[in-house]
Structure 1
């Protein structure tokens, strides 16, 4: 079977390489390990002379930057990149649209216009870089993560873009998993200490699905959401086991691109339980956390926004991307963008930042 997007298709060999890379991403249970895996391995998927990982905070400052090969960069590359970031078309495009999918410099600039920028003359030209393709991943709020590929002689093709876009949702989920582990380790140390964690449920399973270890919070949530006894839990509910089996099977396909390994989510009485599946060679770990189902749309009473528009705005104000808002509210990212366009028009603003600021200061009133 071939994966097709428009006129572009993947060969069976390209699909096998993509599947192998996706499995490797999910096997990285540590942020640094995932970043290293991306930088060293992504060129097997989309050939490039230089790969970069950049973490940018809400103020446009670089929190972390890693490049492979590191010897290919200029002295002061990080400082130069931060200086020219406001001029970078990829960054400005995301600020305006919230679209985090793969984009190329040539989508926005002719080579003539690109060469006229200081971004080129001071940063890219000295490294013989002519072509760049990037994809963005939501990081710890309010940070944004960019995975960028660079070439000197040949622009990236639409097939390269297709590969990166197929990988994109898996990058988002793999990074979210790694972040969940990082937070858990920060708060409670290793798994033994996590057994009595206050705000996270932790379940350690054998490969055949038997419960080896479970903390009291996870026991309580299983009882609350599934009616399970909090005593003598040795197997998960059937719906859980079915989900886990599907998760395992999804990465063993050989003829299609797997769907992202999204968390298991169940709702009750205004709250949701989110369960992430992290699997190693001989055991699986389930991390559980409880969240409110939605943010109360306080803006709904303050303007002409509809309730759905108010919900979208509240989640945007919480630093969520269009993709994340769509997943939270059960919409498509295109519908979220349409809601934002209506919000901008009603509030008399042009950007996400301005709309968020209007919400913060209560600058809009019922007309």
Structure 2
């Protein structure tokens, strides 16, 4: 066994210290990238430079009743390639390495010459009607993703000389990192897409959402939440730091929770007025993530408006404060009543309006004033 291992090692191509230096620099950059498009746009020229080629390509080969191939290349050859893509789609079964990978399930870096005699490939329709137009006679490729209906390879193409064992080894060493960084870019792209959908939904509902760190800096925020920070805390919001007064309220809320359980919606959200409008802020936590949920409201109906619902003056006043998001404790303090008296007023309000909750009563009051 030791002799066999020694023989294999002696037959492997040698990489120089310069090769390893270039590989390490390549990996640092490829993991630093963000979305899928950014990843592809950086990968192709970088790989083209690391392993010299005439053309580097990223391909998504979808198989079905009719095949569909999408290709990005560096340098860009879309003007020449676009009218030839139907040929590629029709004769993709003649592609040497793609056919081999789909048949065997193996995904090492492969040259065409590893799986088919170049002279035989040059007799195929795929070569003569597609690759010949790009003067491509040699290819080195690796599959990043594979399923029965999809194959995603990245390939290097040459016309003059085949790729060496050393260059094949370099691509094989990169293979697990290319696959992982490819998956990372796809995941980040999906998350950003969902984030944009959430932002749009929040804006449509006139709501805002913000995630912040333990240091009370903004990690992520919907556009509406950022607008309200500047409107309701003018001069306080600087950079990614939450306004000091908002931070102080958060600390007070968190101090009342002694464990790591998710913080429920507080009974008393923070209410900040600005003219005839106000924003309500609620603190939420899921695991280690902390969120602020914003909801803007206009001033609710006046007690005089609510009399027409058949309520007495005191009952109308209590309901007006309920519609503004005040708690029983706050209403009692504002009106100089006991909490028990406030609850009695609410019971009579519910009975007269035919509702069973303060939310339903507040909705009727706000509907009366057009809010």
TM-score (norm 1): 0.50
Q: Give yes or no for the alignment of 1:128 onto 2:159.
A: no
Distance 1:163 1:66 in 2: 22
Kept in 2: contact 1:136–1:145 (CA 8 A): yes
Residue by residue over 1:19-67, the C-alpha shift from the partner in whole angstroms, topping out at 9 and shown as x without a partner, is 1111111111110011111111111211100111111224272352111
Indicate the residue corresponding to 1:31 in structure 2: 36
How many residue pairs match? The answer is 209
Indicate the residue corresponding to 1:269 in structure 2: none
Give 1:75 shift.
Answer: 5.0
Kept in 2: contact 1:89–1:105 (CA 8 A): yes
Q: Give yes or no for the alignment of 1:67 onto 2:78.
A: no
Who wins on radius of gyration, i.e. which is larger? 2
Indicate how the Cα distance of structure 1 residues 125 and 141 shifts in structure 2: closer, same or farther if over 3 A, else same. Answer: closer
Indicate how the Cα distance of structure 1 residues 204 and 142 shifts in structure 2: closer, same or farther if over 3 A, else same. Answer: farther
Alignment of 1:251-262 (within 5 A): none
Q: Give yes or no for the alignment of 1:229 onto 2:236.
A: no
Kept in 1: contact 2:69–2:89 (CA 8 A): no
Residue by residue over 1:215-243, the C-alpha shift from the partner in whole angstroms, topping out at 9 and shown as x without a partner, is 9xxxxxxxxxxxx82469xxxxxxxxxxx
Indicate how the Cα distance of structure 1 residues 32 and 231 shifts in structure 2: closer, same or farther if over 3 A, else same. Answer: same
Alignment equivalent of 1:161, drawn from 150, 162, 168: 168
Indicate how the Cα distance of structure 1 residues 93 and 41 shifts in structure 2: closer, same or farther if over 3 A, else same. Answer: same
Indicate how the Cα distance of structure 1 residues 135 and 205 shifts in structure 2: closer, same or farther if over 3 A, else same. Answer: farther
Distance 1:25 1:192 in 2: 29
Question: SS of the residue aligned with 2:28?
Answer: helix
Indicate how the Cα distance of structure 1 residues 87 and 63 shifts in structure 2: closer, same or farther if over 3 A, else same. Answer: closer
Distance 1:183 1:23 in 2: 23
TM-score (norm 2): 0.50
Moved over 6 A (4+): 190-195, 202-206
Instruction: Decide which structure has greater helix share.
Output: 2
Indicate the residue corresponding to 2:348 in structure 1: none
Gaps of 5+ in 1: 196-201, 216-227, 233-284, 286-367
Alignment equivalent of 2:60, drawn from 55, 73, 82: 55
Distance 1:5 1:214 in 2: 52
Distance 1:15 1:8 in 2: 13
Gaps of 5+ in 2: 1-8, 203-209, 221-258, 264-288, 290-371
Kept in 2: contact 1:28–1:34 (CA 8 A): yes
**Structure with bigger RCO (C-alpha 8 Å, 6+ apart):** 1
User: What is the CA RMSD across the aligned residues, in angstroms?
Assistant: 3.4
Question: SS of the residue aligned with 2:51?
Answer: coil
